[in-house]
Structure 1
Amino acid sequence: MRALVVIDMQEKYLDEYDDGLLKSINRKIRLAHEEEDVSIVYVKNVGVTGSRAGYELSDGLLLVSNLVYEKDEPSAFSSKAFTDKIKCLKATELELVGVDGSSCIAKTAMDAIKYGYKTKIVKSCVGARDEKIYEKVLEELEEAGVTVLSSGSGK
């Protein structure tokens, strides 16, 4: 069972990334939604204060499930509800998209590997504020066992 994990696609952050990112992620969500054995899970940051104001998912984000979880640390696995749901779904493979590639995506990927999930990052569907740092982080993630896909068409 595969889960597409959409991380931090929130109004608060999207101005910092390429305009095409949301479009690429929506295309990936649409493709994943057409597959039978893929769950789509959304994770959003609520900040260190836990305040929800200003942390809404982007109005333009394609929502195809009600599986939305909140986190207050970079890794999605910091949310017990998310961690429990991924276990409940019997997911064995996680595909990560969203922002930021050098932080929340990277931390989630490392935790996913640590917990034994086959983990993929869809590079064309991940935004990063600093490309140089992101490329170095990707190398470290690949060394740890994360698969980096160049586009969202890989399974």
Structure 2
Amino acid sequence: MLMISVIGILGLCIGIIALRLFYLSSATKGESIAKYYRPKSALLVLDIQNDTLGIPLYGNTEPLMANINKAIEYANDTNMEIIYTKQEFTGHPLDSLLTGGMYQANSEGADLYDELSIQSDNIFSKLRTDAFSVELFENYLIKNEISTLYIVGADASACVYKTALGGINRGYRVIILEDSIFSVKRDKLNTMLNKYQSKGIEISNMKNFIQTQTINF
């Protein structure tokens, strides 16, 4: 009986952890955006924080950071909306376990990366991988009649992917700059990019982004 009780408790704990992980990592759904008369684009910079740049699996992050900052500068020069997100956990007992203590709210690790170019005050904190889980973020996009999102940041198989899906689920045009996204699974990045495209997410790069913004501007 004792063994059965222990197994039951372990099963319950595993189930609770699995439910929490699913909640944190799932893409959200919402109402389709309106057809705007003059739709705008925005550059969305996902989770470039001190903890992010401290992940050793990313290897040499300098080229990626150079591209991300370059995208931000071009967006700023062409008056494109620039939006930043921060992953922040606020005290749920399972979150520290699942994240290894990273991205804790009000910690230095959760701050935007020291060398990240900050060109706007549009900074949204999120608990879940999908930025669309934040009502203030979604409302900002609607208020500013944004219909196209260019996404850079971290991570290709988590927040980038799930936020992109959240956008697709609402009718946004979503474009990933492939040379400006982090991935701990670098050997599987091409597989992820193919997965993006199968979901209707577009793939571009810094060169095309700059050319497009220069023409539109």
Give the structure-1-normalised TM-score.
0.93
Q: 1:136 aligns with which of 182, 191, 200?
A: 191
Whether the 8 Å CA contact 2:88–2:110 is kept in 1: the answer is yes
**Cα deviation code 1:68-124 (max 9, x no counterpart):** 000011011111111111111100100000010110000000110111001100011
Match of 1:32 in 2: 75
Whether the 8 Å CA contact 2:67–2:206 is kept in 1: the answer is no
Whether the 8 Å CA contact 1:9–1:61 is kept in 2: the answer is yes
SS of match in other structure, 1:92:
strand
Say how many residue pairs are matched: 154
Q: 1:112 aligns with which of 161, 167, 186?
A: 167
Distance 1:48 1:129, change over 3 A: farther
Match of 1:21 in 2: 64
* Unmatched runs of 5 consecutive residues or more in structure 2: 1-39, 92-103, 213-217
Give the structure-2-normalised TM-score.
0.67
Match of 2:37 in 1: none
The separation in 2 between residues aligned to 1:101 and 1:48, in whole angstroms, is 24
Percentage of matched positions with identical amino acids: 26
The separation in 1 between residues aligned to 2:66 and 2:134, in whole angstroms, is 27
Residue 12 (structure 1) aligned with residue 47 (structure 2): no
CA-atom RMSD in angstroms: 1.4
Divergent runs of 4+, >6 A: none
Match of 1:2 in 2: 41
Greater Cα shift, 104-113 or 145-154: 145-154
| Structure of higher CA gyration radius | 2
The separation in 2 between residues aligned to 1:48 and 1:153, in whole angstroms, is 38
Matched residue type, 1:42: Y
